[in-house]
Amino acid sequence: MDLATAPHRIPPEMPQYGEENHIFELMQNMLEQLLIHQPEDPIPFMIQHLHKDNDNVPRIVILGPPASGKTTIAMWLCKHLNSSLLTLENLVLNEFSFTATKAKRLYLQRKTIPSALLVQLIQERLAEEDCVKRGWILDGIPETREQALRIQTLGITPRHVIVLSAPDTVLIERNLGKRIDPQTGEIYHTTFDWPPESEIQNRLMVPEDISELETAQKLLEYHRNIVRVIPSYPKILKVISADQPCVDVFYQALTYVQSNHRTNAPFTPRVLLLGPVGSGKSLQAALLAQKYRLVNVCCGQLLKEAVADRTTFGELIQPFFEKEMAVPDSLLMKVLSQRLDQQDCIQKGWVLHGVPRDLDQAHLLNSLGYNPNRVFFLNVPFDSIMERLTLRRIDPVTGERYHLMYKPPPTMEIQARLLQNPKDAEEQVKLKMDLFYRHSADLEQLYGSAITLNGDQDPYTVFEYIESGIINPLPKKIP
Amino acid sequence: METSNRELQAAEYLERHQIKELLSYLTSALLFFRPEKPREYLVSLLERLRIAKVTGVAFPFFMDNSNIVAMFEMMDSSGRGTISFVQYKEALKTLGLCTEDEDLKDDGHIITLDKFKEEVNKRMKEIWSAF
Confidence of residue A94 (pLDDT cuts 50, 70, 90): confident
How far A154 CA sits from the closest chain B CA (Å)?
13
Indicate the range of A158-167, A427-436, B51-60 predicted with least confidence.
B51-60
Element (H, E) at B118: helix B113-129
- C-alpha A395/C-alpha A415 separation (Å) is 8
Does residue A248 form part of some domain? yes
- C-alpha B52/C-alpha B129 separation (Å) is 10
Confidence of residue A310 (pLDDT cuts 50, 70, 90): confident
A440 and A420 fall within a common domain: yes
Confidence of residue A61 (pLDDT cuts 50, 70, 90): very high
- Alpha-carbon distances of A478 from A58, A80, A247, A258, B39, rounded to whole Å: 11, 9, 19, 8, 21
Does residue B60 form part of some domain? no
A278 and A230 fall within a common domain: no
- Cβ pairs bridging A and B (under 8 Å): 58
Element (H, E) at A319: helix A312-323
Regarding predicted confidence, which is higher, B77 or A84? A84
User: With an 8 Å Cβ cutoff, are A27 and B26 in contact?
Assistant: yes
A111 and A149 fall within a common domain: yes
Range of the domain at A170: 57-258
How far A7 CA sits from the closest chain B CA (Å)?
12
Sign of torsion over alpha carbons B102, B108, B109, B112: positive
- C-alpha A77/C-alpha A71 separation (Å) is 10
B72 and B124 fall within a common domain: yes
Residues 55-114 of B with CB under 8 A from A: 74-75, 87, 90-91, 94
Residue B45 pLDDT exceeds 60: yes
Peptide bond between residue A356 and the one before it cis (omega within 30 degrees of 0)? yes
Nearest residue on chain B to A33, judged by CA atoms? Answer: B10
Residue A10 pLDDT exceeds 80: no
Residue A5: per-residue pLDDT: 46
- The residue type found at A81 is L
Range of the domain at B107: 65-130
CATH code of B107's domain: 1.10.238
Does residue B14 belong to the interface with chain A, where contact is any CB pair within 8 Å? yes
Does residue B109 form part of some domain? yes
Does residue A309 form part of some domain? no
How far B91 CA sits from the closest chain A CA (Å)?
7
- C-alpha A108/C-alpha A87 separation (Å) is 15
In this predicted model, what pLDDT tens digit does every residue of B68-118 receive, in sequence order?
777 777 777 776 777 777 777 777 777 666 655 555 555 555 677 777 777
Domain count, chain B: 2
Domain boundary, last residue among A258, A290, A314: A258
CATH code of A82's domain: 3.40.50.300
Domain count, chain A: 2
CATH code of B44's domain: 1.20.890
Domain boundary, last residue among A258, A289, A311: A258
Does residue A316 form part of some domain? no
Domain boundary, last residue among A202, A233, A258: A258
How far B39 CA sits from the closest chain A CA (Å)?
6
Q: What residues of A are in the B interface, CB distance below 8 Å?
A: 1-3, 13-14, 17-18, 21, 23, 26-27, 30-31, 34-35, 38, 42-44, 46-47, 50-51, 53
A388 contacts: CB under 8 Å, gap ≥ 6: A278, A380, A403
In this predicted model, what pLDDT tens digit does every residue of A229-239 receive, in sequence order?
888 888 889 99
Nearest residue, CB atoms, A50 vs list B9, B43, B90: B43
Confidence of residue A19 (pLDDT cuts 50, 70, 90): confident
B36 and B7 fall within a common domain: yes
- Alpha-carbon distances of A422 from A160, A252, A283, A307, A391, rounded to whole Å: 55, 49, 21, 21, 12
Residue A3: per-residue pLDDT: 42
